[in-house]
């Protein structure tokens, strides 16, 4: 005996029927909505949902004037931080050896030695004579020492005579000058061994006891 019961096929028929019913309901809802729109029902529903609109004025809120807040306290800026600079040593490049032309420098010649000067002096062969004592000076008792500045030429002759220091009496000074120009002969002075004209000082004393 065979069992021909098929439970699976009956369940499938139930699912198909429920789907058909749902589809019919969705179609009916769309048709009803379309009809409501056409008949103005939709507008009535929208007015009912929105309700009456009321307009009212909102009073302005007065803002009380309040004093401004106090300024923030002033803060003194701290001094800038001292940052010591690091010691940086820079090495200079070593100088490059250069070859330059060396020229011999001639040394200047040494200065000549100072000239050897020998002043005029008395000649033993012709000694200096004492001037004649003026008669008036002797009567008046005039005495003194006169220093003469003599110019002696290359031959030893006195070419010029003048008073360097007076005796205090003009007659005595003149007597000494006349004697030197007339009779005195000296050994001339020399420069490096050569006779030259130069000046020479000589003192003459006038004293009555020696006259």
Q: Considering the domain boundaries, does residue 143 fall inside one?
A: yes
Question: How many structural domains does the chain have?
Answer: 2
Residue 42: predicted pLDDT: 47
Q: Considering the domain boundaries, does residue 104 fall inside one?
A: no
Which residues have CB under 8 Å from 181's CB, separation 6+? 158, 161
Average pLDDT, stretch 15-22? 64
What is the Cα–Cα distance from 65 to 125, expressed in whole angstroms?
140
CATH of the domain at 197: 3.30.2420.10
Q: Considering the domain boundaries, does residue 88 fall inside one?
A: no
Q: Considering the domain boundaries, does residue 97 fall inside one?
A: no
Residues 122 and 39 in one domain: no
Residue 32: predicted pLDDT: 65
Position 57 pLDDT exceeds 60: no
Give residue-wise pLDDT tens across range 100-156: 566 677 888 888 889 999 999 999 999 999 999 999 999 999 999 999 999 999 999
Residues 123 and 206 in one domain: yes
What is the Cα–Cα distance from 93 to 91, expressed in whole angstroms?
6
Owning domain of residue 168 = 117-210
Give the alpha-carbon dihedral of 49, 54, 55, 61, to 10 degrees.
-100
Average pLDDT, stretch 189-198? 94
Residue keyed to tokens 């008073």: 163
Q: Considering the domain boundaries, does residue 142 fall inside one?
A: yes
One-character DSSP codes across 81-115:
PP-PPPP---PPPPPPP------PPPPPPPPPPPP
Q: Considering the domain boundaries, does residue 162 fall inside one?
A: yes
Residue 21: predicted pLDDT: 63
């Amino acid at each position: 005996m065979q069992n021909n019961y098929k439970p699976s096929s009956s369940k499938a028929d139930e699912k198909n029927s429920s789907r058909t019913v749902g589809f019919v309901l969705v179609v009916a809802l769309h048709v009803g909505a379309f009809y409501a729109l056409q008949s103005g029902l939709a507008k009535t529903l929208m007015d009912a949902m929105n309700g009456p609109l009321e307009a009212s004025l909102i009073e302005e809120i007065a803002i009380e004037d309040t004093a401004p807040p106090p300024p923030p306290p002033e803060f003194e800026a701290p001094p800038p931080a001292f940052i010591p600079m690091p010691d940086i040593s820079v090495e200079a490049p070593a100088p490059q050896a250069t070859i330059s032309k060396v020229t011999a420098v001639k040394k200047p010649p040494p200065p000549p030695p100072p000239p050897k000067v020998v002043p005029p002096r008395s000649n033993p062969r012709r000694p200096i004579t004492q001037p004649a004592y003026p008669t008036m000076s002797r009567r008046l008792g005039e005495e003194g020492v006169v220093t003469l500045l003599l110019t002696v030429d290359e031959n030893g002759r006195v070419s010029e005579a003048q008073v360097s220091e007076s005796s205090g009496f003009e007659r005595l000074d003149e007597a000494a000058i006349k004697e030197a120009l007339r009779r005195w002969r000296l050994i001339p002075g020399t420069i490096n061994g050569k006779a030259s004209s130069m000046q020479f000082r000589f003192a003459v004393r006038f004293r009555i006891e020696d006259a």
